[in-house]
A and B are shown apart, each in its own frame.
Chain A
Amino acid sequence: MMTHTKINDFVVKFANTNGTGSASANTMFAKAIMRMGVPVSAKNIFPSNIQGAPTWYEVRINERDFLARRAGKCDIVVAMNAQTYSLDVSDVIDNGYFLYDSSKPLSDTLTSQNIHYLGIPIADICRKEFNNPRQRQLFKNVIYLGALAALLGIEFNVIKTLISEQFKTKEKLISANIYALELGHQYAINHFSCPLDYQIQRRDLINNRIMVNGNTACALGAIYGGATVVGWYPITPSTSVVDAFANYCQRLRVDPASGKKNYAIVQAEDELAAIGIAIGGGFNGARAFTATSGPGISLMAEFLGLAYFAEIPVVLMNIQRAGPSTGMPTRTQQSDILACAYASHGDTKHILLFPDSPHECFELSAMAFDLADRLQTPVIIMSDLDLGMNDHLTAPMQWNDKHKYDHGKILSMRELDSLLSFGRYRDVDGDGICYRTIAGTHPTKGAFFTRGTSRNQDAVYSEKSSDYVANMQRLERKFDSAKSYLPKPQVISNDTPSDVALIYFGTTSQAITEAVYLLKAQGINVNLMRIRAFPFQSQVATFINNHAKVFVIEQNRDAQMRTLLMSELNLAPDNLLSIVNYDGLSIPAQAIVDGVVTHCNQQQEVS
């Protein structure tokens, strides 16, 4: 077989069994590469199951920072689940490697492929070296990690340091893990020609980037944004947002003198109650949020309508997964766009934010609390499973101590004193955003009745048509005012003029740099716009109108963002083309390239 050396540009996939403790070893593998200064990304591909089902972890190493999921087969598969051997063998690229546990011989049917086999008797080694059954299981993962270090040229000390850091409070575990690591490392050196033709070589391409998942970053954003009240109900893939929030609160939000908590987290009975709690907190002047996923959004729709109409600040973090219904709970999608933009009955619209990295998960989550207070309405963070649950290489989270929370138009006791009269829904400033008061502020001024029913501008129940219409028009005005507070779209124009453009948002961003590179190689130059918020600012319409072909790239079947753009910007269908990917896995650059090229070819054939 021909071999050619691949440096810092390949994909390694680990096939494991759910619940066998492989996650920490696999994460260390990715992190070791990062610490060698080489860009890396990792995707968990896991089932909706606790234990026993197949799970994969796909690591892409690419020193050009192409870190989206690579389409097609993998270069190296570390196959630790006999159940999926045949699938895993077929997933190896020609001339690639299949590393497996050779304690049991591989079936003949699996050995006819044009790939290299690396058998390590891992179970036998563990049986010989460790007495404890749990250790025998766990150290299998550390042994293949040690072997990979030798096979790929990963600096052994880097992994040793990672192990020491991971078990820094459990000294005994450090030496045992390092022993297992050495067993694998030595076996590889003794039995194979190390390193292979796939190699990691030290670079200096990481700069100050960090590796973190989006849910942790959202949780930290909520801490920095000043959230104190959380109502939530566990649902994959959003659960870790509140888990992380709780963990950081224990560290950062407990008063050292009194030991009292400067936060309250209520695990509610369901999603309806979860957002109800957050809305109650927002109504009463606290910064409050909930986190959920698609099925939770369906249940929360009623309350979102109330918060919109009664004008109550609340933040909702929606970590999207594949729908509809229960869908694929552990697979990713961007398919809640329309459900969130228009959640609830009646003419309802909500503010949406689309983070594309953990860095932005932090930034937009913190910002969301200012926006919700300023605009007195729900603000929904549109993350997804890929962003939320996978570790990503990202710019460090940033906070400026000079930034002061924007609590919006809240009247204090003194301000109420100076007013002749107060009306909760009077548009005093003409921006559609009214002044509010918090319960308990003033003995005789400022109290009002919040309700989801129609009312006049003084918050008095009213079914008068004129009151209703004036209120609805003001809410529309407020939605328009919101645009000036929202993050602007990011426009990246090409050096050369182009009539082709890509619009994308959220995690689809990961594939863009690579797609642009691949398209350029085929002679297609594209301009780019990344949407960061809904409602859409005027730049979005301008950008679309300035290009002959605009592809909207998204991860759902029905091109929901395209629909939203057409509907909100009053665009004809012909103006926008669609590239969608909805198989539950994150979109690879090749899918974008194929979509653009196919359309361009069709156009040529027609002309």
Chain B
Amino acid sequence: MSFAKSTFHHKGLPKNELGLTYRDYEGALSTLCAGCGHDSISAAIVHACHELSIEPHTIVKMSGIGCSSKAPNYFLNNAHGFNTVHGRMPSVTTGANMANQHLTYLAMSGDGDSASIGLGQFAHVVRRQLNMVYMVANNGVYGLTKGQLAATSDKGVKNKAGEMSLFNDIDLCCMALQLGASFVARCFSGDKRQLVPILKAAISHQGFAFIDIISPCVTFNNHPDSTRSYDYVQQHVTAGAITDYVPIKEEITSVAGDGEYDDICLHDGSVLRIKKLDQNYDASNRLTAMIDIEEHKKRGEILTGLLYVDPTARSFHDINETSQTPLNQLQQDVLCPGERVLASINKSLR
């Protein structure tokens, strides 16, 4: 077995507008377990960014600690990454975003990272309406420490060692909705058809985009007692809607009169086209989204898809009225008031 990733590029690989193939969006060879759902997420990110023709180096990959947080190593080699400390990725991403609001911040976190040690930071980065994509690779288990139950584990399920989860689970989508996230989705890592367009939409969304991605842990949480196993999720997943992402430059065909579709125009002019499977599903209603999530959960189902979006949301920098020039590019002549001003300040203190 070789640990070196092949650098071979098939000549026929399709190129995007920048002339890059999806291989230009890949990362290092994954060291996660074979079959890990997180690798599927990495693959979906590679495809989404390639299809959006984003320059890889304009993306910043942020993460905390855990299996999920290792994942940014495995996509976008030409992007800077920051594997911070457990549960504290949101604050570091906030600072990075303050320094340069024009880069794209793709953050990977896990259930332990976001729902336990980092729950406080998660809550507050939602409140701050930071323009970022916040993904939780949610496998309901602590992988790196070998199988402890997570706060997102459903009450009553057992881990591989037979220990039962005695307490209510934390539903991060409901939390994100309650705290004011302007884009909330839940996906299954095994459903690339659903995940890629939602990722693309989340990246285009100017505001806080949250995606809870059920991502089974093949080693510690893929057993019959788990509600995060491949089998369980595949059998109980319900799509609230099928989402298509229509980039700004593509023609949007009329769907007038067809009650099955919703077209939502994002800030950059791209369109989110939602085909409703449930006729009553309304992705613009924060309150009903929470109710729908809970009702599906009661039935043992996992509601996936784009759960809520507010395309008119304002992000931190809009609210703060920050300079359009990234703060990390402001020069000394703009930042430093100089001797003359200091002399007048000194004078006022005599």
Q: Give the distance in Å from the alpha carbon of A275 to the alpha carbon of B316 in the complex.
A: 18
- Which residue in B83, B95, B100 is a CB contact (below 8 Å) of A440? B100
Whether B99 pairs with A273 at a CB distance below 8 angstroms is no
- Which residue in B88, B337, B339 is a CB contact (below 8 Å) of A272? B88
B291 proximity list for chain A (CB < 8 A): none
Q: Give the distance in Å from the alpha carbon of A440 to the alpha carbon of B102 in the complex.
A: 9
Whether A273 pairs with B91 at a CB distance below 8 angstroms is yes
Whether A229 pairs with B120 at a CB distance below 8 angstroms is no
Besides A264-B316, A281-B95, 16 other CB < 8 A contacts?
A258-B323, A259-B321, A266-B94, A270-B120, A272-B121, A273-B120, A280-B94, A282-B95, A283-B82, A284-B100, A401-B339, A440-B102, A443-B57, A447-B56, A449-B61, A449-B81
A296 within 8 Å of B (CB atoms) = no
- The segment from A91-99, A190-198, A220-228 that touches chain B is A220-228
A278 to chain B, nearest CB (A): 6
The closest CB in chain B to the CB of A260 belongs to: B323
A231, A273, A285, A399 interface centre (most CB from chain B within 10 Å)? A273
Whether A283 pairs with B322 at a CB distance below 8 angstroms is no
A117 to chain B, nearest CB (A): 36
- The segment from A102-110, A319-327, A450-458 that touches chain B is A450-458
Residue interface bits A257-274, CB-to-B below 8 A is 1, else 0 = 011111110101110111
Q: Give the distance in Å from the alpha carbon of A281 to the alpha carbon of B343 in the complex.
A: 30
Whether B60 pairs with A439 at a CB distance below 8 angstroms is yes
Residue interface bits B63-91, CB-to-A below 8 A is 1, else 0 = 00000000011000111111111001011
Whether A276 pairs with B92 at a CB distance below 8 angstroms is yes
CB within 8 Å for A396 and B337 given contacts A228-B99, A285-B328: no
B57, B102, B120 interface centre (most CB from chain A within 10 Å)? B57
Q: For chain A residues 221-270, which have a beta carbon within 8 Å of chain B?
A: 223-224, 226, 228-229, 231, 252-253, 255, 258-264, 266, 268-270
- Which residue in A224, A268, A278 is a CB contact (below 8 Å) of B336? A224
- Which residue in B103, B120, B128, B334 is a CB contact (below 8 Å) of A262? B334
CB within 8 Å for A441 and B323 given contacts A278-B95, A281-B95, A284-B100: no
Whether A285 pairs with B124 at a CB distance below 8 angstroms is no
B128 proximity list for chain A (CB < 8 A): 266
The closest CB in chain A to the CB of B123 belongs to: A269
B264 within 8 Å of A (CB atoms) = no
B327 within 8 Å of A (CB atoms) = yes
Q: For chain B residues 300-350, which have a beta carbon within 8 Å of chain A?
A: 316-317, 320-325, 327-328, 330, 332, 334-339, 341-343, 345-346, 349-350
Q: Give the distance in Å from the alpha carbon of A278 to the alpha carbon of B120 in the complex.
A: 17
A123 within 8 Å of B (CB atoms) = no
Whether B79 pairs with A439 at a CB distance below 8 angstroms is yes
Whether B103 pairs with A231 at a CB distance below 8 angstroms is no
Q: Give the distance in Å from the alpha carbon of A397 to the alpha carbon of B77 in the complex.
A: 46
CB within 8 Å for A280 and B95 given contacts A262-B327, A286-B328, A451-B83: yes
A570 within 8 Å of B (CB atoms) = no
B55 within 8 Å of A (CB atoms) = yes
The 9 closest A-B pairs by CB, nearest first: A280-B95, A276-B91, A286-B99, A284-B99, A285-B328, A439-B80, A273-B91, A280-B92, A210-B349
A162 to chain B, nearest CB (A): 11
Whether A404 pairs with B99 at a CB distance below 8 angstroms is no
A442 within 8 Å of B (CB atoms) = yes
Whether B99 pairs with A229 at a CB distance below 8 angstroms is yes
- Which residue in A220, A228, A441 is a CB contact (below 8 Å) of B327? A228
A208 proximity list for chain B (CB < 8 A): 346, 350
Whether B103 pairs with A439 at a CB distance below 8 angstroms is yes
A228 proximity list for chain B (CB < 8 A): 98-99, 327-328, 330, 335
The closest CB in chain A to the CB of B77 belongs to: A447
A141 to chain B, nearest CB (A): 22
Whether B328 pairs with A284 at a CB distance below 8 angstroms is yes
B93 within 8 Å of A (CB atoms) = yes
Q: Give the distance in Å from the alpha carbon of A279 to the alpha carbon of B123 in the complex.
A: 19
7 contacts between A and B (CB under 8 A): A228-B328, A273-B121, A280-B82, A280-B95, A437-B80, A449-B73, A449-B80
B92 proximity list for chain A (CB < 8 A): 276-277, 279-280, 283
A157 proximity list for chain B (CB < 8 A): none
A399 proximity list for chain B (CB < 8 A): 336, 338-339, 342
Whether B350 pairs with A211 at a CB distance below 8 angstroms is yes
B290 within 8 Å of A (CB atoms) = no
Q: Give the distance in Å from the alpha carbon of A284 to the alpha carbon of B97 in the complex.
A: 8
Residue interface bits B118-133, CB-to-A below 8 A is 1, else 0 = 0011011000100000
Q: Give the distance in Å from the alpha carbon of A273 to the alpha carbon of B52 in the complex.
A: 32
Q: For chain B residues 225-266, which have a beta carbon within 8 Å of chain A?
A: none
The closest CB in chain A to the CB of B55 belongs to: A443
Whether A223 pairs with B337 at a CB distance below 8 angstroms is yes
B95 proximity list for chain A (CB < 8 A): 229, 231, 266, 276-284, 286, 288
B16 within 8 Å of A (CB atoms) = no
Whether A273 pairs with B97 at a CB distance below 8 angstroms is no
The closest CB in chain A to the CB of B335 belongs to: A226
B80 proximity list for chain A (CB < 8 A): 437-440, 447-450
